[in-house]
Structure 1
Amino acid sequence: MTDADVLDEFRAAGALLEGHFLLSSGLHSPLYLQCARVLMDPARAERLAQALAAKLPAAVQREAQAVVAPAMGGVIIGHELARALGCLSMFVERPSGTFELRRGFALAPGTPVLLCEDVVTTGLSSREAIAAVEAAGGRVIHAAALVDRSDGTAELGVPLTALLRLAVPAYRPEELPPALAALPAVKPGSRRA
């Protein structure tokens, strides 16, 4: 699947949005990729996950015993990626502001884990999820994402494979271009703070 194919999937789902968006990272952007919308069609989610699985290094495809995704955004793509790889699917969530494995999910010490995100912007959420996996005994060997909107600049502490890499501008509140500042900011993601 090419970058154009992936963007076509987002367009077809009405999931490629333009305007003024406040990202979970606190940054502002004129472009938002609504992964929940692109993944609402199970056939599309399966296609995207299979394409992402095929891009992973062969060693990761062989070694990963579990895919762990941060809730809420990574749950669907994480599940589909685990299905494509034939391994377990789990997620971390923030019941008290910090990611943790719950709901009876457990990792044996040293379990090789593939972290799966929907979108990576700064890498902060991914790093927090990796810390939670490691605190639970897992060993994150790689990360995967539908979209890396940092265009490869986000540092996760492990290699990252993304189905689509984009250089999407993101601005701190004090650095907004006038045209973007003139538009009301919308918070389309799952986190309110």
Structure 2
Amino acid sequence: MTEEEVLAEFRACHALLEGHFKLSSGRHSAHYLQCARVLMNAERAGRLARALVQKIPRELRTQIDKVVSPAMGGLIIGHEMGRTLEVDAMFVERPSGTFEFRRGFALKEGEKVLMCEDVVTTGLSGREAIEAINAAGGEVIAACALVDRSAGEVDMGVPFFPLVEINFPTYAPGEMPEELAALPVEKPGSRKA
């Protein structure tokens, strides 16, 4: 899928929002990609997952034993990636502030894991998920995301494969343009900042 085809999927379901958004990373943006909306249709989610799998080199794809995603944002795309790769998908969550496996999810020592996110801005959630996966005995061999909005600057510590790079500007709280700062702030993400 091209970048324009991916954006068309977001536009078709009103998942590309404009306004003033405080992202899970703590940064601010005039654009927000609501992946939950783009993934609410199972056919669309499957199409996006199949396209994302194709971004991962074959030699890595064939090694993946499990897909693990950070909750909440990565749940649906992680599940669809597991389906596409024909491996189990599970997630880590933050019941007390740090990612951990719950609900009976566990990894065998040395299992090869693909960490899957919806949107990456700074990579913090992904890196924290990778730490939890490694601590649980897994070996993260690659990371992926539907959208990389880091302008290609994110470092996940493993090979990283986004479906598309979308470089809407983001701003630290003290760096926002006046016109953005003047708008009311929405906080649609899943992490408390």
Per the normalisation by structure 2, the TM-score is: 0.98
For 1:192 and 1:135, the matched residues in 2 are separated by 24
For 2:145 and 2:129, the matched residues in 1 are separated by 13
Deviations 1:53-81 (A, max 9, x none): 11111112100000000000000000000
List, as ranges, runs of 4+ consecutive aligned residues in structure 1 with deviation greater than 3 Å.
Answer: none
For 1:151 and 1:10, the matched residues in 2 are separated by 19
For 2:166 and 2:35, the matched residues in 1 are separated by 14
Aligned to 2:130: 130
Aligned to 2:161: 161
| Matched residue SS, 1:24 | coil
Alpha-carbon offset, residue 103 of structure 1:
0.8
For 1:40 and 1:151, the matched residues in 2 are separated by 26
Q: How many residues align?
A: 193
Matched ranges for 1:57-72 at <5 A = 57-72=57-72
For 2:48 and 2:131, the matched residues in 1 are separated by 26
For 1:130 and 1:15, the matched residues in 2 are separated by 27
Say whether residues 1:146 and 2:166 are aligned partners.
Answer: no
**AA in 2 matched with 1:48:** L
Say whether residues 1:39 and 2:62 are aligned partners.
Answer: no
**AA in 1 matched with 2:55:** K
Deviations 1:134-191 (A, max 9, x none): 0100000000100001121011111110111011211110111011011011001122
| Matched residue SS, 2:24 | coil
For 1:61 and 1:29, the matched residues in 2 are separated by 33
Aligned to 1:105: 105
Aligned to 1:18: 18
| Matched residue SS, 2:156 | coil
**AA in 1 matched with 2:104:** G
**AA in 1 matched with 2:37:** R
Say what the alpha-carbon RMSD is for the aligned residues.
Answer: 0.7
Instruction: Give the unaligned 5+ runs of structure 1.
Output: none
For 1:75 and 1:150, the matched residues in 2 are separated by 21
> What is the percent sequence identity of the aligned residues?
63
For 1:192 and 1:48, the matched residues in 2 are separated by 27
Per the normalisation by structure 1, the TM-score is: 0.98
For 2:56 and 2:155, the matched residues in 1 are separated by 18
Alpha-carbon offset, residue 192 of structure 1:
3.0
Deviations 1:18-44 (A, max 9, x none): 110000111001110000000000000
Aligned to 1:94: 94
**AA in 2 matched with 1:25:** S
Deviations 1:93-136 (A, max 9, x none): 00100000111111111110000000000011110000000010
| Matched residue SS, 1:63 | coil
Instruction: Give the unaligned 5+ runs of structure 2.
Output: none
